[in-house]
Amino acid sequence: MKKTLEGVIKQVKKKSFGILSTIDPSGWVQSSGVQYGVSSRGADFALYVLSDRRYVKVRNIEQNHRVSFVIPFPHHFLRFIPAPTVSFKGTVEILPFDDSSAREAYCSRSQKRMIRFTANSDYKATAVFLRLTPIKRIVCYGLGIKLADMMRDPANALYTVQLSGK
């Protein structure tokens, strides 16, 4: 894997689970595991999360649009070794449930099923999408680094990729 923005985005598209951290009104961090979709090719890089206006994370975002997001890439056989991660600080915009860019990003089978379920349920009235936009850079640890190289030189496992135009 190349340590480039394109290489990192390619890896991020292979996953769909991440941890979204928001800040509550008293200044404490609140983290939630979420499923995400990635913006379509040609669009600025962003992640989309289906949520509900009544959820704590959305209420926190209404007060403070700054977030952090982490995507773990767990080792399925070597669980005792720290998982590679992709993380970024960014901002969030709350979008309506019928936003076409968000729906396009939610393209896996399970995500399409979530959209269909929501569209045909009482949740539709309060459903929203969150668009997460990284600022400046994405930080990677261990992503695309051979395990032996990482163990030999752990500091070399950390790198950043810059976002164009940010």
Domains and CATH numbers, the chain: 5-162 (2.30.110.10)
Q: How far apart are CA 85 and CA 8, in angstroms?
A: 10
Which sign does the torsion angle of CA 80, 84, 89, 93 carry?
negative
Task: Please give the pLDDT value at position 42.
Answer: 82
Residue carrying structure tokens 């752990």? 154
| Cα-to-chain-centroid distance, residue 149 | 27
**Which of 5-14, 64-73, 80-89, 155-164: highest mean pLDDT?**
64-73
Residue 19 main-chain phi, psi, to 5 deg: -115, 120
Q: Is the pTM of this model over 0.75?
A: yes
Identity at 118, one-letter amino acid code: T
pLDDT of 133 strictly over 90 = yes
Q: How far apart are CA 92 and CA 146, in angstroms?
A: 33
Identity at 68, one-letter amino acid code: S
**In the chain, what percentage of residues exceed pLDDT 70?**
99
Task: Please give the pLDDT value at position 149.
Answer: 85
pLDDT of 96 strictly over 80 = yes
Strand-pairing partners, residue 88, are 69
Q: How far apart are CA 143 and CA 83, in angstroms?
A: 9
**In the chain, what percentage of residues exceed pLDDT 90?**
69
Please report which helix (H) or strand (E) contains residue 111, including its range.
helix 109-119
Three-state DSSP state, 142: coil
